[in-house]
Chain A
Amino acid sequence: MGELWSRVLQNYPYVFALALFAIGIYTILTHSNLFKKVIGINIMEGSTYILFIAAGNVRGGVAPILDMGDPGLVYVHPLPQALMLTGIVVSVSVTALSLALITKLYRFYGTVDAKEIMKIRSEVRANAGRD
């Protein structure tokens, strides 16, 4: 049992990443405010950055910029950082798309709350059925 806990503590970035991931998904699924859903997406994507960066980290390593003067330097793994730059670009575009959709939804329904949108929709549908 003690060994397990020490291993968990040693790898705390991964634990943080998974906790953040769960928080992000919880935010997306439970909050009815559309903006909070978008914030949840960003928390979720952020957790994966932590996972990758932690995976590429070398304790005592420096930023992977080649320094010709000091051949003894230890560098961190540059690949995860490059990948996460792509990940950031992707999450920026998802955020931009969802914000654009939210402004559209606000114009159509006059609210940014998912529950109220559902209510308006069911009212519209009920009225259409009555005619």
Chain B
Amino acid sequence: MTDFVLKRMVALVLPFVQMLGFYVIFHGHLSPGGSFSGGIITGLSLIAFSLVFGLERGQEKVSERMMSLVESFGALWYGAMGLVGVLRGTTFLMNKGAGVPLGEPGKLYSGGLILLITLGVGLKVASTVVTLFVALMEEEE
């Protein structure tokens, strides 16, 4: 792909797409969307980069190794957040009852652990989408 306009446009738009992705992830507990939608948006931005600039340059930016690390981290992070409740002597995934401060309703920090869990799931979804894309692209050679 040597399309100049396409490359410039993608380079211009991508940061905003990624920002939107993280915005959706962070506001999952306040507005429509959440970790899954936000993670997909973030992942798609990386896929768009690979599509326009080629798979190799995309791999330079975020390597497969890095992605699988993030993927495992996202899943483990969820488990760790769930264990907070167990360690505080209550049940798995317990939020308020485990003594986590809930914050003020309607503000960004509200809902205690939910924000942190959403972050982990969002990272996992984003990296999974990219890994899937890379796996399917590599099959084709």
- The verdict on B139 contacting chain A, using a C-beta distance below 8 Å, is yes
With A65-B31, A68-B106 known to touch, is A103 a contact of B36 (CB < 8 Å)? Answer: no
How many cross-chain pairs have Cβ atoms below 8 Å apart between A and B?
22
Q: Would you call A107 and B139 a contact (CB within 8 A)? A: yes
Q: How far is the CB of A72 from chain B (nearest CB, A)?
A: 19
- The verdict on A8 contacting chain B, using a C-beta distance below 8 Å, is no
Q: Would you call A63 and B32 a contact (CB within 8 A)? A: yes
- The interface size bin for chain A is 10 to 19
Majority SS of interface residues in chain A? helix
CB under 8 Å from chain B, chain A span 88-112: 88-89, 96, 99-100, 103-104, 107
> Chain B: residues with CB nearer than 8 A to chain A?
31-32, 34, 36, 105-106, 132, 135-136, 139-140
Known: A85-B36, A99-B136, A107-B139. 14 other contacts (CB 8 A): A65-B31, A66-B105, A68-B105, A68-B106, A85-B34, A96-B132, A96-B136, A100-B132, A100-B135, A100-B136, A100-B139, A103-B136, A103-B139, A104-B139
